[in-house]
Structure 1
Amino acid sequence: MSHRIGVIPGDGIGHEVVPIALGIVRAAGVELDTVDYDLGGERYLRDGVVLDDATIAEWRGLDALFLGAVGTPDVPPGVIERGLLLKMRFDLDLYVNQRPFLAPGHEFIVIRENTEGTYAGEGGFLRKGTPHEVATQGSVNTRFGVERCVRYAFELARSRERKHLTLVHKTNVLTFAGDLWERTFDAVAAEYPDVETAYNHVDAACIYFVESPQRYDVIVTDNLFGDILTDLGGAVSGGIGLASSGNLNPDRTGPSMFEPVHGSAPDIAGQNKANPVAAILSAAMMLDFLGEADAAARIRAACAETATLTGSTTEIGDAVAGRL
């Protein structure tokens, strides 16, 4: 069976790691029918295009999207982030961000709500550019949005051996949003008596990520806290260059999007220095979501067998392919 995949190499090292990751997928025996899309900072600088509705409509006919990295230093902050990445999440309803981490001898997963919170864009300026300027930035939290994310996390925890789920928030200060999250979490927990639960404030979780990550199995948290915690998770599990992610539409009303989270790294772009493992592991996540679990498992095993290797982008890619 062939899977129709939209491919967005993007900027910088995205052009180097994406072909290697897709080559690994094909080496694992999975057929891909790819459609390339020229999007990112370089495209914006060239002709002002970020992401239009016609492209979103075209993507709805695909099985998945695979993104390399986007962003260039010459593009103002927020243009690509809001116009491309967040537009993809909102328009395709990619309401779950799933990030697996392998700390020393221990794997845990962070589930981040991906379409609400402070990233929903509520806010604005008053008297901008004057000495009396005011800026507001709201956090949007709906029972619908929180519950579907929390329920996904419970289902994931139930499928795992340990069956443990931790809610991370800041309920002692964010007494409105935190209260909604906590009440929703507790209500859904009643339907999963086989899943053990816990709660951590986000500042405590930052300590535990470093000192004792083994306490975690699955974590569920809001958009902003999840963004911060998952970068920390990358640091404690070998570096952001190994961090994979999936932006998921679990209801499958549109394609899910998979990406390494290391960014475009313009300082090393074009030098064959980027570690392609994060992109390869993101491709393995994509295969899991597409029902190719055997190929995904073999790719992860090949990455694990080459984890201690150093070398160029292509050398590491060749080593992983060789294990297949």
Structure 2
Amino acid sequence: MAKTKTIAVLAGDGIGPEVTAQARRVLEVLELDIAFEEAPVGGAAYLAAGHPLPPETLALAARADAILFGAVGDPRFDGLERALRPEQAILGLRKELGLFANLRPARLFPGLEDASALKPEVARQIDLMILRELTGDVYFGDKGRGFTHTGLREGHDLMRYDEVEVARIARVGFEMACRRKRVLHSVDKANVLETSQLWREVVNEVARDYPAVKLIHMYCDNAAMQLVRAPGQFDVIVTGNLFGDILSDQASMCAGSIGMLPSASIRAWTGENGLYEPIHGSAPDIAGQGKANPCAAILSSAMLLRHSLDLDAPALRIEAAVEAAIAGAARTPDLGGTLSTTAMGDAVLAAL
């Protein structure tokens, strides 16, 4: 008899609980053998337990088969020391669970051409995967504040990668490219950064094991330009933490709205303890107003089924239901419509 799978629901702050609730509704209606366990994270956890990632929440995440994550961030806690700010929860989860590979698919759903910042004929080209390294780069490097020898305030953030970190994310990128169109763009800034020169060297070394994949190196500034000029040239993009953060948000607006893009944070090709979340933030300015688009969270639940539970058929059903709801003119405010968060969830459920 198959073991019931456990999904840790870490809804977080702002609109996190609102969109996560809709994703959970969709999973529940599929009547799969899964159980949900909730725990606070981010600002909500700080209020409840004095820390954005309490030991109990981390323990649940570590033993769960997958994590459905909402969002963290609350301006009320901006004055706290860095270690206690809500955003440290997601950084801590990535580090403690070894979630170094972030999958961020971006494609334009038919009917959302007008929501894209691009011309419709350009926007229709978008169907790509951005693979972002998650546990290195300036986000985790040495950082601090101080003063220059003349007394001026200064800050520093160390960008660093070692060859093992680069090789493992590169290998995930090549494996992903093998399953798609066999084209991999590696994005760096090797013309000015030593870190990127190492990145490029190691990616070239890994490429020898994947002769069937066409490898193209591209500077990050050029990649940003090409994403809006000719996005159809991209299929899989592999890049570091900082560049991936920026480019994936840019891709979301090319595809219509940041409210449409899901993500998965995993350990290479094993989905054990994978973390699934919309790429948008907690959006405290609209929290509690029912304006948030739940599609990214719902699509994240599809990625959860596919990568962590090996359930591709129900994942495809969810994705098809979102596409059908969009095709049926279901729109939240970010897409130019008037549907509430719950009503958009209703539209997806109806299509499902």
TM-score above 0.5:
yes
Contact kept in structure 2, 1:108 and 1:216, CA below 8 Å:
yes
Q: Shift of the alpha carbon at 1:217?
A: 0.4
Contact kept in structure 1, 2:77 and 2:86, CA below 8 Å:
no
Contact kept in structure 2, 1:92 and 1:254, CA below 8 Å:
no
The equivalent residue for 1:52 is 54
CA distance in 1, matches of 2:306, 2:16: 22
SS for the counterpart of 1:94 is: coil
CA distance in 2, matches of 1:292, 1:254: 13
CA distance in 2, matches of 1:50, 1:287: 27
Q: Shift of the alpha carbon at 1:137?
A: 1.1
Alpha-carbon distance change, 186 to 239 in structure 1, aligned in 2, over 3 angstroms: same
The equivalent residue for 2:113 is none
Contact kept in structure 1, 2:125 and 2:231, CA below 8 Å:
no
The equivalent residue for 1:297 is 316
Q: Shift of the alpha carbon at 1:124?
A: 2.0
**Structure 2 counterpart of 1:302, which letter?**
A
**Structure 2 counterpart of 1:94, which letter?**
L
The equivalent residue for 2:267 is 249
The equivalent residue for 1:149 is 169
SS for the counterpart of 2:40 is: coil
The equivalent residue for 1:309 is 330
Counterparts in 2 of 1:62-81, with a 5 A limit? 62-76=64-78, 78=82, 79-80=84-85
- Equivalent of 2:348, from 306, 309, 320? 320
- Identity across the alignment (%): 37
Counterparts in 2 of 1:155-194, with a 5 A limit? 155-160=175-180, 162-174=181-193, 176-194=194-212
Q: Which runs of 5+ in 2 are unaligned?
A: 109-123, 332-338
SS for the counterpart of 1:22 is: helix
Match status 1:99 vs 2:104: yes
The equivalent residue for 1:116 is 136
Contact kept in structure 2, 1:28 and 1:299, CA below 8 Å:
no
Q: Shift of the alpha carbon at 1:210?
A: 0.8
CA distance in 1, matches of 2:340, 2:291: 5
Contact kept in structure 2, 1:109 and 1:219, CA below 8 Å:
yes
Contact kept in structure 1, 2:7 and 2:67, CA below 8 Å:
yes
Contact kept in structure 2, 1:93 and 1:254, CA below 8 Å:
no
Q: Shift of the alpha carbon at 1:101?
A: 0.2
Deviations 1:280-322 (A, max 9, x none): 0011111111201000011101111112312111111111111
Match status 1:137 vs 2:157: yes
Stretches of 4+ moved more than 4 A in 1? 251-254
Alpha-carbon distance change, 57 to 314 in structure 1, aligned in 2, over 3 angstroms: closer
**Structure 2 counterpart of 1:291, which letter?**
D
Deviations 1:107-130 (A, max 9, x none): 1000001000111131323349x9
Aligned length: 321
Deviates more, 1:248-257 or 1:2-11: 248-257
**Structure 1 counterpart of 2:179, which letter?**
S
**Structure 2 counterpart of 1:5, which letter?**
I
Q: Which runs of 5+ in 1 are unaligned?
A: none
Q: Shift of the alpha carbon at 1:173?
A: 0.6
Deviations 1:43-76 (A, max 9, x none): 3245522113453234221101111111111111
Q: Shift of the alpha carbon at 1:230?
A: 0.6
**Structure 1 counterpart of 2:24, which letter?**
L
CA distance in 2, matches of 1:272, 1:210: 31
Contact kept in structure 2, 1:306 and 1:320, CA below 8 Å:
yes
Q: What TM-score comes out, normalization by structure 2 length?
A: 0.86
CA distance in 2, matches of 1:288, 1:201: 32
The equivalent residue for 2:335 is none
Deviations 1:66-101 (A, max 9, x none): 111111111117543552111111111100011000
Q: What TM-score comes out, normalization by structure 1 length?
A: 0.93
